[in-house]
Copies of this chain bind each other. A is one copy, B any other.
């Protein structure tokens, strides 16, 4: 499943990072000539990179009309969060059953880090630690296929998820939920870990409205795409 040529691989990583971290925003145009000039390569590896990214859903290419950073519909957003919650819940269930002691230590450390960062009210730093916390759980499920699958969906939701944490109070609540999840995992309570993680990730009811309210114009495309 490994990617193609080295140039294309580098491009994929660079662009992926820019999209996930928000440097490139949903709707931004990615034209092949600019990218090839900017990176000093020909159009061929650029196209390969864009196709790879299209395959993972991070960009969308309309035939004869170029490619843009993927912007999804509200319906897509809801659907993807629904799946994301389930995938993370599965990771948490398996992690509760399979994580080694040393991994749990790491999770505890990251949980503490999240706690201190939360008190300092640094949303961006918290976001980083939060990502790490979740990734340790992905790894803890001991199913590398599930781990990849989960990360892929997470990346696609990253531009939207990032917005959540800038809501007042969300960081604190998120951190409290982490503690509970951590407890469930370290005591090996798979069902509880899964249930808590599902609630932690799912975006339902008011939370959904709140999220939609702060999504910038252009991040979402009209339903009639």
Interface residues in chain A, defined as those with a beta carbon under 8 Å from any beta carbon in chain B: 1-6, 47-48, 51-52, 54-57, 60-63, 70, 76, 79-80, 82-83, 86, 90, 143-146, 149, 153
Contact = CB atoms under 8 A, between A and B. Distances in A.
A89 to B, nearest CB: 9
B145 A80 contact: yes
Copies in the complex: 2
A48 B4 CA distance: 11
B4 A61 contact: yes
10 contacts: A1-B70, A2-B61, A2-B62, A4-B47, A51-B55, A76-B145, A79-B143, A83-B90, A83-B145, A86-B86
A144 B171 CA distance: 31
A4 B145 contact: no
Contacts of A82: 143, 145-146
Contacts of A2: 54, 60-63
B4 A51 contact: yes
A61 B56 CA distance: 16
